[in-house]
Structure 1
């Protein structure tokens, strides 16, 4: 009789594990692609929209994702904008490494050892530049091997290999240029305290791509995506309100650099 009772329990446990696995895939898809509609997720993951909604309801209940209205550029059509689901800070933390505290303490030590104040800030900035220069070796090879019109895409792929879930796309609106969008930042929490990390990254993007770039939004400052504008020839950068669709409504356009 015991074996008969155990079978349904094992099936239930297997079902719960499958649900968690699919739920993780949904959250990961939002991380990789930014805030997404139910239809987007269903198409990417090969699930029905009903199944996606069920998993999203669970993720919302767990405060891993949150719904919001999709930002619309240009003329708005009839009806309400589509609802998108974005990762919360808590949800993003689940994908981050657990070394934030150690990293922040190390940077504080560097700043104190240099004497604090402006000297301390300069020491942290020097560390940030040295760190990104080391990481950029692989990026430089990828960018230089690409055709000029494909270099932003090549940089995005190189960043993705380092966990930044980056994409490249044409800039919205009338601006001629591209947007490099990083949907994940492994050092976001540390960069909240030390914006020198973002500034050094922006500088290296400019050097790698051979043009002045403008940081329009960052995860470290509360935006949904780190967004960098790479101008075409010619064309001014877009206004902050024209940043990537995945940026936070309340904080898009903050530029720590």
Structure 2
């Protein structure tokens, strides 16, 4: 006869299994954030999960609108079918921690309307100045090599929740490019703590780009932003010279 004690054990085991599944699903979501755009196979390797397990969690996260599929064309792949890659959806970013209070957006709108654009720019500049003060010693410690400085900056930004990476870019074979594009790095940010605000106030992106240029010591170009609808914020960093330091 099925006892109450057996029922309790069954319920307890079911609860533990559910909690384990939820923790693993959160790991998968974090993995997509850190490595996206990423394939299911590559994500499984990163997280040490079986293909069946990672796809099961990806299906649930996609059904919950926390992640979405983007189609990427591989370099040199010709006219073949684009590869399916997973990225975090806007709702997923909110779950991961950028669901700020609407009062922040309203306060900035009031500031802009009552005081003017200069006041809004000053507010964004203070945030950028704080980033520069904290990142400057870290970047300077990396020396004068731009690639090393970019890597140090990416690590510092990751600790602040940007999930940043510095990726070396090589031009396609047999393709002639201008000299300034031959050696470069893409500084990518998979998460933006002020994404929702930057959608309405581009000055946050502009000031952040200026700080990246100042810290790396080269002219950079913002290729994409999450505030503008992209899946990641991408900054093009040319590698033409070492940074000159003052004595």
TM-score w.r.t. the length of structure 1 is 0.84
CA separation of 1:79 and 1:195: change in aligned 2, threshold 3 A: closer
Distance (Å, rounded) in 2 between the aligned partners of 1:71 and 1:161: 31
Residue 226 of structure 1 corresponds to 233
Q: Given the alignment of the two structures, is residue 40 of structure 1 paired with residue 47 of structure 2, yes or no?
A: no
Q: Given the alignment of the two structures, is residue 103 of structure 1 paired with residue 99 of structure 2, yes or no?
A: no
Residue 163 of structure 1 corresponds to 161
CA separation of 1:172 and 1:219: change in aligned 2, threshold 3 A: farther
**Aligned partners of 1:143 and 1:155 also within 8 Å:** yes
Residue 212 of structure 2 corresponds to 205
CA separation of 1:230 and 1:78: change in aligned 2, threshold 3 A: closer
* Correspondence for 2:191 among 164, 167, 184: 184
Output aligned runs, 1:121-132, within 5 Å.
Answer: 121-132=117-128
Q: Larger Cα Rg: Structure 1 or Structure 2?
A: 2
Output aligned runs, 1:50-199, within 5 Å.
Answer: 50-73=52-75, 75-76=76-77, 80-114=81-115, 120-149=116-145, 150-173=148-171, 175=181, 176-199=183-206
Gaps of 5+ in 2: 172-176, 242-247
Secondary structure of the corresponding residue to residue 229 of structure 1: strand
Structure 1 residue 78 displacement after superposition = 8.9
Structure 1 residue 172 displacement after superposition = 4.6
TM-score w.r.t. the length of structure 2 is 0.87
Output aligned runs, 1:7-22, within 5 Å.
Answer: 7-22=9-24
Moved over 4 A (4+): none
Q: Cα deviation per residue 1:171-191 (whole Å; 9 max; x = unaligned)?
A: 353522111000000110110
Corresponding pairs, count: 228
**Aligned partners of 1:100 and 1:187 also within 8 Å:** no
Distance (Å, rounded) in 2 between the aligned partners of 1:133 and 1:172: 32
Distance (Å, rounded) in 2 between the aligned partners of 1:99 and 1:141: 29
RMSD over aligned Cα atoms: 1.6
Structure 1 residue 221 displacement after superposition = 0.7
Distance (Å, rounded) in 2 between the aligned partners of 1:112 and 1:80: 49
**Aligned partners of 1:65 and 1:86 also within 8 Å:** yes
